[in-house]
Amino acid sequence: MKFYDCQPAPSPRRVRIFIAEKGLLDRIEIVPVDLRGGAHFKPEFERINPFRTLPALELDDGTCISESIACCKYIEAAFPEPPLMGRTPKEQGVIAMWEHRCEWDGFIGGAEMLRNTAPGMKDRGLTGPLAFEQIPALADRGRKRITWFHDFLEKRLAETAYVGGDAYSIADITALISIDFAARQKADIPESHTNLKRWYDQINARPSSKI
């Protein structure tokens, strides 16, 4: 299996951490893709992902799977231990709910900020092959969404050890990469959010967070 990766980008990091937590780093070939240099728009990338985003997996039979959560679902099914998406139906539902919430307000909020302000992202308001103009108001909205994201995680982590419940899961991974993505844009965890900070320090100390 191959994993199409880009070191600084948050979505590939989400799957890279998932792979590391499964102990699969030495069983999967990592193929770096230069997003800044536009390697994902070269004709040969069409086969890997016609939507022109990272991450992507290529299975040994040539099947390609893009979308971070789809890559993680495939890995979870193929390599169930340790479970990162819950064991029981209840755990699976609760973890999926929190994971999606973190992607929706955390990752997307960060993407709205970056893609609607960075000079290097002119006409790259959305990923993919079409040009989308930057809309500065969306960057402001993204910043608000990050405030909301930090606030709801602070409340959640006053009640549970991990975002998805009692155990580390994909919900923690998506929360971590979204928090770091927002922090790169000067939207840090507020000092007052002591539960979120405690959780962050603990998750950030895991070896998988460093790769």
Ligand X SMILES: N[C@@H](CCC(=O)N[C@@H](CS)C(=O)NCC(=O)O)C(=O)O
Site for ligand X, rule CB under 6 A: 9-11, 35, 40, 53-55, 67-68, 124, 127
Angle made by CA atoms 155, 110, 45, in degrees to the nearest 5: 130
Residue 54 vs 203, nearer CB to ligand X: 54
Task: Say which residues have a Cβ less than 8 Å from residue 98's Cβ, sequence separation at least 6.
Answer: 156, 163, 164, 171, 175
Residue 54 vs 170, nearer CB to ligand X: 54
Q: Quote the least distance from Cβ 57 to ligand X, whole Å.
A: 11
Q: Quote the least distance from Cβ 182 to ligand X, whole Å.
A: 13
Q: What burial class does residue 38 get, using C-beta atoms within 10 Å of its C-beta: 0-12 exposed, 13-18 middle, 19+ buried?
A: exposed
CB 160 within 8 A of CB 84: no
Residue 54 vs 163, nearer CB to ligand X: 54
Instruction: Please report, for residues 2, 45, 86, 179, 199, the alpha-carbon distance to residue 161 in angstroms, rounded to integers and kept in the order given.
Output: 33, 40, 15, 17, 7
Q: Quote the least distance from Cβ 51 to ligand X, whole Å.
A: 8
Q: Which of 16, 2, 30, 5 lies closest to 174, judged by CA?
A: 16
Lookup result for tokens 């419940």: 165
Q: Quote the least distance from Cβ 195 to ligand X, whole Å.
A: 27
Tokens found for residue 76: 């979870």
Residue 157 vs 179, nearer CB to ligand X: 179
Q: Quote the least distance from Cβ 141 to ligand X, whole Å.
A: 17
CB 117 within 8 A of CB 200: no
Across the chain, where does the E strand assignment appear? 2-5, 29-32, 56-58, 64-66
Residue 1 vs 161, nearer CB to ligand X: 1
Residue 53 vs 169, nearer CB to ligand X: 53
Q: What burial class does residue 130 get, using C-beta atoms within 10 Å of its C-beta: 0-12 exposed, 13-18 middle, 19+ buried?
A: exposed
Q: Quote the least distance from Cβ 41 to ligand X, whole Å.
A: 7
